[in-house]
A and B are shown apart, each in its own frame.
Chain A
């Protein structure tokens, strides 16, 4: 078996389920948290610092026999905007798409400003993306800007 096949095996040997690929290494465990993997009883593989042609190093999560709601992918997009979702059926990739960051993040990000109304009332948070690369978000309420690395998810 050559090296290339071995690598592919590490990624693709899943009969049914989801592979979340191209996660920045530093964000991998945040994504694990978002997914609530500790509550999933299906087979899970978590890889990090794997070689990647496009990213250098990357993280990857495989979950067998699950379907996840779209909202979860929106949340992942906040911290891993280039992550790719592969839906696997019968060992085949039947769908492959990037996570998509919505223009407005409703109730996904928590505001970092303790004096923001959204941290003091029972209400939904809202953030707007302020640049194309989506590295910063503006709170709809207190208008503070939060950079991606400081984002806290709700």
Chain B
């Protein structure tokens, strides 16, 4: 049997991504299926992430499986100093599959090397969060009818935001064009611009967030600018307002444009955007359910 872990988005080939999207479409039509009947899924959240955990656990429940696990490391033996290895070895005895979230980078990769059951990475520090990327891809596909030749504008924290980095990597199969909108402190790291150059992916980089940029965009991917990223709080207050999307900025946009956001949102999308036909972030979150159902089935070879 092939490798059925999902640790990093780069573990997936283009065909595997497309197969997952197709499977997710089936779950969108009918989310309740008895595919995981009799299966036990370990849900190990070494750091709290309510949104991701509920999405995964809903996916398991809707497929008829059961969940064991913890939602916070303080309730696990980690707090007694147990190694990750020992926790994984123990849970792998009980569960058919492990979904894990961990504050340390590379934790899921390591777990996948020692576990006898498949590992699905639900986020490892600031490194990878492949199920988020798959739900982003699914949402782009769902709203645009294609993944090919789209202009994707990423706004906000492009330096630390792992979702934008993984999305960029995943989209490289589909001839995208990127526009990176960020302040100097939070620019897209050179590593990813090099990656685009190497693959011949067109991109532009700007500090300005305005209608001119928005009007040539298909997918507007907003991210949260976090206060703790700034050494200068004055700078944070300034940047926070510049990169806020309001409904009036969408007046001249393309009809197919959709606004995505990994959530939670704070101030970067004004409340009045919620009522525009372009707002799609809540549907995007729902898509997490369908894509995670598809990912769970893939992991178990079902």
Contact = CB atoms under 8 A, between A and B. Distances in A.
A117 B128 contact: no
Given A115-B126, A117-B110, A120-B104, 19 more contacts: A113-B105, A115-B103, A115-B125, A116-B104, A117-B84, A117-B107, A117-B109, A117-B124, A122-B83, A139-B106, A141-B105, A141-B106, A141-B110, A142-B104, A142-B125, A143-B8, A143-B105, A143-B128, A145-B191
Contacts of A144: 105
B105 A115 contact: yes
B191 A118 contact: no
Interface string B66-91: 00000000000000000111000000
Contacts of A115: 103-105, 125-126
Nearest to B107: A117
Contacts of B125: 115, 142
A117 B105 contact: yes
7 contacts: A113-B105, A117-B106, A117-B110, A117-B124, A121-B85, A123-B110, A142-B106
Interface of A: 113, 115-118, 120-123, 139-145
B106 A143 contact: yes
Interface in B94-123: 102-107, 109-110
Interface of B: 8, 83-85, 102-107, 109-110, 124-128, 191
A111 to B, nearest CB: 8
A47 B191 CA distance: 38
B191 A116 contact: no
A116 B83 contact: no
Given A115-B125, A116-B104, A117-B104, A141 B83 contact: no
B83 A121 contact: yes
Nearest to B165: A143
B81 to A, nearest CB: 12
A144 B189 CA distance: 12
A117 B102 CA distance: 10
Contacts of A122: 83
Contacts of B109: 117, 140-141
B110 A121 contact: yes
Nearest to A143: B127
A43 to B, nearest CB: 44
A144 to B, nearest CB: 7
B107 to A, nearest CB: 5
